Amino acid sequence: MPRGGAPSEGPHGALARAVGPRGVVALAQRGPRESPLAMSAAGFPGLTFDGEHERATIGREATERLLDRIGMAYLRAERAVGAPPHEQLAALVEQLRQAEQSRPRVIKVELMGPVSLALLVSDEHERPLAYDPALRETLVQHVTLRAAWVRDLIGSAGATALICLDEPLLDALSSPFCPLDEDEGHDMLARALAELRGPRGVCAAGKPAWDTLLTLPVDVIFFDAYEQSAGLVQAATLVASFLSGGGALGWGIVPTDTAAMAQERAETLARRFATTVEYLAAAGGLAPEQISGSALISTSGGLGQLPAAQAAQAATLCAEVSGAARAMFGLSN
């Protein structure tokens, strides 16, 4: 959970080594300019970002002239090329300044992953970049460079970066109308994650494909535990292997839907979490304390679109649910 109880050392030990008693703090997203899409896509060659409608488009001619620059920087590991434009840089520095006030050991940053970027970013003819293999490859390289640059920035502030690739459209890969098939999308995401040093995670929206997610080179998987916990229990054997190897789950147990949030309390959400943990433990052959001790309590979705008061309420609920759940499982603070 956020304030301790790290998973044991194993193949995913980067997260275990980084998390400590001061826990994980996520950078706040206060608007579209600080969204995972903006923070990831901004600065891509030839790209224009419409913050009001959160829409990213490229001019194909301008983009194609600059593709080699990204490719060469990627091959040479020139992380400076991953720096965001001034507007996103200023926002990121301010986010980091606020996060540092709690002196966390780990700062979580969400960048949109290459699969969702390829499906959301389009050219001037409204054709997603996913249709173009060369542009898809450049997106993977761009995300890798951006993530490395952000990691270095947070490291210079004395904290460890938990880089999470946000993939809200990952479940679109199962659609016959998607321009990417499942193998292509999985390969893009796996290669981007494999390039990241230190703790790395994936934020999966919708119904997670656990059999695919758990094969990725990843330390933590964030998922909507408020609506999508049944599939987790069905994949209990795979999940148990992941957790036993030092992996962790980010339980999005605090809803971001305003109606649901108004009806929930920390105690009811903690009980919902505990019930799922108990079912998962029974099905996967793990002790409930092993599962709960490595859990990161989060919201079921991003907070960037919520009014400030409701976003603050959700963040407060996360801390309260963590405390209540720790008490239920007898975990120290």
Mean pLDDT value of segment 74-84: 93
pLDDT per position as a tens digit, 224-268: 999 999 999 999 999 999 999 999 999 999 998 888 988 999 999
In the β-sheet with 248-254, what is the strand arrangement from edge to edge?
24-26, 106-112, 160-167, 200-204, 220-223, 248-254, 296-299
Report residue 149 CA to chain centroid gap. 16
- Percent of the residues in the chain that have a pLDDT greater than 90, as a whole number: 64
**Whole-model pTM?**
0.89
Coil, strand, or helix at residue 26?
A: strand
Highest mean pLDDT among 21-30, 85-94, 178-187: 178-187
- Which residues are CB-neighbours of 235 under 8 A, at least 6 positions away? 210, 211, 214
Residue 303 has pLDDT above 80, yes or no: no
Q: Which residues in 8-105 belong to E strands, given as ranges?
A: 24-26, 47-50, 55-58
- Which residues are CB-neighbours of 224 under 8 A, at least 6 positions away? 205, 206, 252, 300, 301
- What is the domain partition of the chain in residue ranges? 13-329
- Which residues are CB-neighbours of 131 under 8 A, at least 6 positions away? 179
Residue 55 has pLDDT above 50, yes or no: yes
pLDDT per position as a tens digit, 100-121: 777 778 889 999 999 999 999 9
CATH number, domain 13-329: 3.20.20
Read off the amino acid at residue 269.
Answer: L
Q: How many CB atoms lie within 10 A of CB 124?
A: 13
- Paired strand residues for 25: 107
Mean pLDDT value of segment 54-71: 92
CA-based torsion, 164, 167, 170, 171: positive or negative: positive
Backbone φ and ψ of 106, nearest 5°: -130, 130
Instruction: Tell me which of 31-35, 138-142, 191-195, 305-309 is least confident.
Output: 31-35
What pLDDT is recorded for position 239?
Answer: 96
DSSP 103-146: --SEEEEEEE-HHHHHHH-B-TTS-BGGG-HHHHHHHHHHHHHH
Look at 7 and 88; give whichever has higher pLDDT: 88
Residue 3 has pLDDT above 70, yes or no: no
Tokens of 29: 């997203």
Instruction: Work out the pLDDT band at 7, boundaries 50, 70, 90.
Output: very low
